[in-house]
Structure 1
Amino acid sequence: MRVIDLTHTINENMPVYPGTDTPKLISVNTYEKNGFKETFLQMYTHTGTHMDPPVHICEGKKTLDEFPIEQFIGKAIVIDCRMLKEGDAITMEQLKCYGDKIERVDFLLFNLGWDKKWGSDEYFGDYPCIDDEVMEYILKGKYKGIGFDVIGLDPIADENLTRHKKLFENSDIINIENLTNLEQCVNDLFWFSCFPLKIEKCDGSPIRAVAWFE
């Protein structure tokens, strides 16, 4: 079995969404004083490689802990969008290259190659986003989730979060952001898991996203 880690490492200097704070990892117990090591972790629920449930945007909609556990595992395919330039849109042209494979998966993962900019100011640039036709296609499908190697479903400049609202107002689906290493996944179906922390009334959670090939 080949396993690929699609998750960025959490640390105190990692990129975070503008307006939020970086994580704090504070040593509270040490081998010398307490005989064991323990760290106090403080961070936003939408830190690093993480997922959004509908309640992140829409009051009264489903929280992460309300999803059945099978929501977070299934077949996936990576849509290669690395040919797109800054400001371009992700269109059905990119999806059609994969034929009926995109109808046989639970997760659509979009590879912009943007994870290579992780840790630089460029990461917050004008990354490509899905257009209205792709959004409608996703909404009409039976997908468990979609995912991207960028910091948001919407452009950072869109404070209205237009795509988030359209996605979550109309479906019970999860949205994954800040994936990495998607180029290591072949252009075919593979197993994918993205389990969140089980937090009560959870509006989002860091995840450990993993692809594997049997």
Structure 2
Amino acid sequence: MHFHELNSGFSVEGTEIKSYRTDVDGDKYIYLMAGVHGDEVEGVYVVEQLFNWLKTQDQMHIPLVVVPIVNVDGYRANTRVNANGVDLNRNLSTDCWTSEVSEKKYYPGNKPLSEPENQYLINLFKKYPPGLILSIHSWKPLVNFNGDCLDVANYLGERNGYEVVADIGYPTPGSLGTYGPAKLDCPVLTFECPIFNDEKGLKEIWLENEDAFKGIFLDKIYSRFL
């Protein structure tokens, strides 16, 4: 597939937030993104590998948007939060948004959608409406689905052995998983990679998920969302 670079967004510190889309127009688009939390390098690596592979697939014609690193300042600083200390995955304008947090790392900002990184994402969603969002994170190996995408979650879980869950066990107000189904009528699949260590590096994390992620596109699991 051929991708072209879209107009960049800019972070709190003025760093470019790059995004790309295929030359295929659609009423809906598949989104692939990582780095919402800057210290989750595993997800960024997985999306990088998948993106590189997608570029070689000339037989595919999919309306697809890729945002390799959303929280570019946090990625550079190796922090979960952005340069304002805000957890971008608690800052979206969901009905359940709250300023109350149990830990500093979940600080949602002083108001919903206060952060330029999320403002950029919302503008992308308006211009290229998402039919399915695949957001790749790092925590523990699981596949969290919000909205009507259980089939995609099960497809991944059957191939990598990760647990499939509708709920991660605690509230996530202001998160993309909450925002997508409610505000965009779009399901969100939040894929959690394991944290890399001496026994399992970034390459190994990609290899254990390679067939699953490539299969979403090769087997056209995405097609009903367009």
Which is strand-richer, 1 or 2? 1
TM-score w.r.t. length of structure 2: 0.25
Which is helix-richer, 1 or 2? 2
Task: Identify the structure with bigger relative contact order (alpha carbons < 8 Å, sequence gap 6+).
Answer: 1
TM-score w.r.t. length of structure 1: 0.26
